[in-house]
Amino acid sequence: MSFQKKIINDPVYGFISIPNALAFEIIEHPFFQRLRNIKQLGLSNYVYPGANHTRFHHALGSMHLMMEAIKELRSKEILISKEEEEAAIAAILLHDVGHGPFSHCLEGVLLQNIHHEEVSLQMMQSLNTELNNRLTLAIEIFKGKYPRKFLHQLVSSQLDVDRLDYLTRDSFFSGVAEGVISYDRIIKMLNVKNEELVVEEKGIYSIEKFLTSRRLMYWQVYLHKTVISAEQLLVKIFQRARELNAVSQLSFKTPLLEFFLSEKNKTEQWIDVFAQLNDAEVLTNVNYWQHEKDACIATLSRMLVNRNLYKIHLSNEKISTVEIENKRKGFLNKNIVAPELSHYFVFEDVISNYAYRLDVGQINILMKNGEVVDVLKHLNHLNIPIFTEAIIKHYICYTV
């Protein structure tokens, strides 16, 4: 296949160029094209109607920022070979290829006990065989095995191009101005010291803004209470579907989904089946489940399709047993389902969030004197806790 330089309109960055033939081949591959139908933000569009952007678009955007980062580093005389460039681009393009329908929303539900990064890795390995091992270096970088650590850090760290793109893109499409970051300024401040990625000291305010924006995006978008409510509803629908399917009580299901609702997904062949799944498949099933005989799944499905979501109450403290019991009694009075199914309609759980984690690799600042320090040492010591302590919120979902 001969490669033609191609540019793609992106409302976020203006234009994105596909930089090389390998990137072009990856993008053309069905594994990657599938991402066109995987929403980046799950069901956030129930709150932010503009947030219909896809993993496909996010992967292209991350590729664009990776190219910008590489150009910037080269202009600072960091040598990056053509092979390394190609591999870093391939790694970032494929870093999320393992996401299932609605991204994080159904993670652990369709494919149980496997994280999307692990799926991405397996899909990359499958693709590597198909591409005659042209992804070997990309996989090394993705796994953090390549000695030049900064390449892995650009793909996956607390300040990677993945985060730079998703904060920028999610903020753009949701319309939440709180999430705007200076991705271009941050990239201009990147450098490499001892093969590790560092940020030049004068970029410190942009990093603080980045950490703050990330925290605010968690509360305003990713963990918005109505988003949680919608996504929990979808999770519960699938739990019920699995139960019904096990006892042959689920009258409608498409073949691909049946695969994941049954026990089959323990077997070897799941990658190929998974690689055909997308949001549409899930939505279509839920649309039909409105008409199932089982009142539980029918009610839940109608709630989702018509956006008649759970009420939700967030709290800093654990939800009291009294409150839970009251909500449950209220629900049971309506006689919609048998009492033992009430946990599908009234339940509590907990969410938490860190802006910056102390237990994974740090963001390094390159001081003017050449020293490298963790960003937390450099930021005024007073503001460490808001970034490093987990913020935990309890919630109860219920119907009235």
Q: Which lies closer to a copy of itself via its Cβ, residue 205 or residue 262?
A: 205
Q: Which lies closer to a copy of itself via its Cβ, residue 41 or residue 296?
A: 41
Burial code (b: 16+ CB inside 10 Å, e: under 16) for 138-151 equals: bbbbbeeebebbbb
Angle between helices 161-174 and 204-217 (to 10 degrees): 60
- Alpha carbon 315 to its chain centroid, in Å, reads 25
CB of 283 to a copy of itself, least distance (A): 4
Q: Which lies closer to a copy of itself via its Cβ, residue 141 or residue 186?
A: 186
**362: how many CB neighbours lie within 10 A of its CB?**
18
User: E strand or H helix at 315, and its extent?
Assistant: strand 311-315
CB of 326 to a copy of itself, least distance (A): 18
Q: Where are the alpha helices (DSSP H) in the chain?
A: 21-28, 30-33, 55-75, 82-94, 116-130, 136-143, 149-155, 161-174, 183-188, 204-217, 225-246, 255-261, 270-274, 279-289, 295-305, 321-332, 375-378, 384-388
CB of 329 to a copy of itself, least distance (A): 24
Cα–Cα nearest to 141, from 66, 193, 89, 105 = 89
Q: Which lies closer to a copy of itself via its Cβ, residue 147 or residue 255?
A: 255
Name the residue with tokens 């004197």. Answer: 369
Beginning with the edge strand found earlier in the chain, give each strand of the sheet holding 364-366 in spatial order. 190-193, 196-200, 364-366, 372-374
CB of 72 to a copy of itself, least distance (A): 10
Contact between residue 393 and residue 223 where contact means Cβ atoms under 8 Å apart = yes
Q: What are phi and psi of 138, to 5 degrees?
A: -60, -40
Q: Which lies closer to a copy of itself via its Cβ, residue 139 or residue 303?
A: 303
CB of 36 to a copy of itself, least distance (A): 7
CB of 60 to a copy of itself, least distance (A): 6
Q: Which lies closer to a copy of itself via its Cβ, residue 91 or residue 217?
A: 217
CB of 215 to a copy of itself, least distance (A): 9
Q: Which lies closer to a copy of itself via its Cβ, residue 75 or residue 129?
A: 75
